[in-house]
Amino acid sequence: MTDAEPTLDSLKEILQVEIDADLLQLALTHRSFAYENGGIPTNERLEFLGDAILGQAVTVSLFRDNPDLDEGELAKRRASLVSSAALAEVGRAIGLGPHVRLGRGETMTGGADKGSILADTVEAVIGAVFIDRGPDVATDLVMRLIGPLMRDPSRFGVSMDPKTSLQELAARRGLGSPLYAVTESGPDHNKHFIATVTVGDLVQASGGGSSKKAAEMAAALEAWSSIAPRA
């Protein structure tokens, strides 16, 4: 990007938040870009913070707005709303991809639309807003971003068991069984998993999580979301 400030200003307008430009740019800095530019700071610490802010805001909202749901159902809904697939959906909805600072390799392989990168960047932006504007503004942002998903009753069917739902959808379309591949990174006490699922020749999707199961579920939900609307 040759003109960062107008790009940041346009993103601020989308987010409806006035935030320090340097902090927002840090939230948009993927590790691939940082590596190619002398090891500058990445958005990973902000992502860690944003994940916690997101989880708390969604948990409180679900608890307050659904007095008839038990703990198990609330937990399932929260998991679906904060999943990598859901956050990637949010990232695409607000056009976040072109704003993310990526290395050349990630750019060439379509990193601006990768689910895991979009999801992580959404969390980093939430973390940056929390740091700069405080908890109330950050919570308001989470509700603006996640609110449309909360109000979509259809997503709480597939999201509860995305691997089974994807398997059934693939069978109906004659695509064969979904194939999963999982990679892991990080130290033993803080591992991060990335799952990629391939469904026939139709789609390849990815998702991340703190366990192999969570990553596969996130990838399955993203794949299902991509295939289901197709005729």
Q: Would you list which residues are annotated within the binding site for Mg(2+)?
A: 47, 120, 123
Q: How are beta strands 179-185 and 192-199 bridged, if at all?
A: antiparallel
Whether 70 is catalytic = no
Looking up tokens 């709303």 gives 81
Element (H, E) at 179: strand 179-185
Whether 132 is catalytic = no
In a 10 Å sphere around its CB, with 0-12 CB exposed, 13-18 middle and 19+ buried, how is residue 5 labelled? Answer: exposed
Catalytic residue among 51, 106, 216, 222: 51
Q: Which residues are annotated as a binding site?
A: 47, 120, 123
Q: For every residue of 180-216, which 3-state class applies, written as one string? A: EEEEEECCHHHCEEEEEEEECCCEEEEEEECCHHHHH
Structure tokens at 77: 């809904």
Catalytic residue among 106, 123, 216, 222: 123
Catalytic residues: 51, 123
